[in-house]
Amino acid sequence: MSSPEIEVEVVTARPRVELVPRSHLSIELGHLYMEDLLHPERIREHFAKIKPWTDFLLTRHAGQRVSTCFLVDEYFSKIRSPAELIPELIEAASAEGIVIDYLARESGCAEAGGVSPASLVMARVVPDPPQGANGSRPPAHETGWLTNAEGMRTSLNQAMAGRRWAPPKENGALAHSVCLDVQLWDNPLDGERRWSCAFLSAVWQLLRLGLLRHQGKAIVTPDQWKGPYPDAWSELPAVIKLGERAQPFYAFRTMTVLETRFSDVEAAVRMILGRVAIDPVVAAQVRQQAAAQNVELPDDIVRRVSHVFSDGI
């Protein structure tokens, strides 16, 4: 007599991946250092400069879901409090007819609700060894440095041995090389890892694109802020919602409007993004969302990120 068939349910340890709503485009209205935000007139000047670009982007994407955001860099400096600064930001933007839908604090890219988005991204930075590499360069998770080229560093021993100089060569260069060596973090005197501006900016882009998960859940869920703003930045969530009618914080693509002095940092951001391995389940989920909404979406994450560099000309 044959044995009866037994149905076996296979249970995996992987949690369900949360599906997040998305705008078509997330426009960042500013990413200034705290020192830039010391004076109200400097803030008003900033929004006046970006007004033409903001109007152009909103007109170009009319009929689409577009959300705006502003990032306050209080990771490296906390000179001004939220209670003092946020009303000034809202008022200065409003004076130019600009609406800030979401406000974020940069330290939220390092730690948000008991989770470190920066650590999650660092764990997904993959090596890109150049052809013929012998493994003499330690990996980025040990050194805190990421490069896109071969021969960026020559040790003192090699120099003393009389080794001839050779120029660096970009990995996958076409005709000529553009070589970058980017610091991701350092360890100050207290020994706690301090993330670099470039790395936190890369994390910020991945947050806006909705590509980060912790145990299957989205890292931030921005809620409408009600009541007075606190005196300490740590009392605010990583991202808060300011606009009552705001479209979703997460988006298929991002656009960041910055002054030209930030162009070097953003070049580093794009290099970092090109070296981050996105969770394939999340990546497939986003592609399915895009296809269902007839949104053209590049497979390359870096191509989903755009910048406008302007000093108000």
Q: What is the 3-state secondary structure (H, E, C) of 47-75?
A: HHHHHHHHHHHHHHCCCCCEEEEEEEECC
What residues contact 183, with CB distance under 8 A and at least 6 apart? 144, 145, 196, 198
Query: Which residue reads 């040790």 in tokens?
Result: 155
Average pLDDT value for residue range 210-236: 95
pLDDT at 69: 97
Mean of pLDDT values over 8-37: 81
User: What local confidence, expressed as pLDDT, does residue 139 receive?
Assistant: 82
Tell me what pLDDT residue 160 has.
Answer: 52
C-alpha distances (whole Å) from 298 to each of 230, 252, 286, 301 are: 40, 10, 11, 7
pTM, two decimal places: 0.88
Q: Say if residue 247 is exposed, middle or buried (CB neighbours under 10 Å; 0-12, 13-18, 19+).
A: buried
Average pLDDT over residues 32-56: 90
Q: Which element (helix H / strand E) includes 182?
A: strand 181-183
Report d(CA 169, CA 179) in Å as an integer. Answer: 7
Q: Could you give the CA distance from residue 91 to residue 76 in angstroms, rounded to a whole number?
A: 25
Q: CA angle 73-74-77, nearest 5°?
A: 110
First vs last C-alpha separation in the chain: 86
Q: Where are the domains of the chain?
A: 23-122+197-309, 140-183
Q: Are 82 and 236 in contact (CB under 8 A)?
A: yes
Average pLDDT over residues 197-204: 97
* 37-41, 55-59, 218-222, range with the lowest pLDDT: 37-41
Q: Give me the chain's average pLDDT, please.
A: 87
